Amino acid sequence: MNLLKASVIFMALSCASVNAQTIVTYDITNGRAQNAGHWSNNYNGEITPATPGSNWNYNYTGGSGSLNDGVIPNSIESTQFIYAPENPIITLHLSGKTIVSEMNFYSMLYAWNGSAGNLSGATVSFGGQSLYMDSPNWGPRCSSYLCNNRFSFAGTALEGVATDVITISGFKTKVASDPLYSIGEITLNGSLVSPVPEPSTYGMFFVGVVVLVLRARRKHGVKFDMA
C-alpha cells in the first residue's frame, strides 16, 4: 500500500460512518400529561407542569421513553399525545453529529380513532436551518388517518446539514377541527459524522507512514535519497 492510498483510507475512516443515528434522549415542551384521555406514554426523565397549577400541559426533560424505545405500539397506549393548539415542541438529542436524510413518525399498528396519521406537517429545525415540511402518510394500514408519517430532507435546505439536536414544532393536522395526533416511535435515517482529527493527528499519522515506508525499503535493500 503506497502513502497516498493509506492517506485516503485514513481520512475516509476518520470523517464519516455509514451507521444510522440513535435518539439518546428527548424533551417535550407543552406536552400532554402521560395519562391524558386514553393516551399513555413512558418517560424516565423529569416531568413538570408547563403552567403552574395546570393538570394538562407538562414539560418533559432529560429522559427517554415511548418515542425512542424501539417499540411501535398497537394502540394509543405507549404513544405521545399531541394537541396542536397548545404548541408542543419535541427536541431530539442524538449521540453525535449526523447528516439526517429522513425522519419517520410511527403512530400505531391499530387505531380506532383519528389521531393516527392525522398529521399534515410540522416545522423541523436543526443546524441553524428551520423549515416547515409536509409529512406524507405511509404504511400497510394507511387508510383514512390510520397511517405513519415521513419527513424527507432530500432537496431541501436541511439536506446534508450535520446536527446532534433536532427540534420539531408547529404541528398541523389534516382536520383543523380535530387537532389531535399521536406518536408511538420516532426513527432517523442518516449517516453518523465522526469528528475531523486535529492537524497534530494527521502529522503523527504521516510520520508513522514514512517510518513504515523507510523500514520496508531497508528490508528489501532499496536505496533512496531523502534530499
**Domain harbouring 41, CATH code:** 2.60.120.1190
Instruction: Give yes or no for residue 118 having a pLDDT over 60.
Output: yes
Residue 11 in any domain: the answer is no
> Any bridge partners for residue 129, and if so which?
126
What's the pLDDT at 55?
Answer: 82
Residue 4 in any domain: the answer is no
* Tally of CB atoms within 10 A around 115: 26
Quick check: 63 and 120 in contact, CB under 8 A? no
Residue 225 in any domain: the answer is no
Residue 215 in any domain: the answer is no
Residue 45 in any domain: the answer is yes
Residue 103 in any domain: the answer is yes
Residue 217 confidence class, pLDDT cut points 50, 70, 90: low
Residue 124 confidence class, pLDDT cut points 50, 70, 90: very high
Mean pLDDT score, 90-97: 96
Residue 60 in any domain: the answer is yes
- Domain span at residue 152 reads 18-193
Quick check: 30 and 89 in contact, CB under 8 A? yes
Give the DSSP letter of residue 32: E
What's the pLDDT at 117?
Answer: 81
Mean pLDDT score, 186-201: 75
Q: What is the pLDDT of residues 49-87, one digit of tens each?
A: 998 887 889 999 999 999 999 998 888 888 999 999 999
What's the pLDDT at 209?
Answer: 55
Give the DSSP letter of residue 146: -
Quick check: 86 and 171 in contact, CB under 8 A? no
Residue 102 in any domain: the answer is yes
Instruction: Give yes or no for residue 171 having a pLDDT over 60.
Output: yes
- Rounded to the nearest integer, the mean pLDDT of the chain is 81
Task: Kindly report the backbone phi and psi dihedral angles of residue 46, in degrees, each rounded to the nearest multiple of 5, phi listed first.
Answer: -85, 135
Q: Specify the higher pLDDT residue, 14 or 143.
A: 143
Q: How many domains does the chain have?
A: 1
What's the pLDDT at 31?
Answer: 94
Amino acid at 17: S
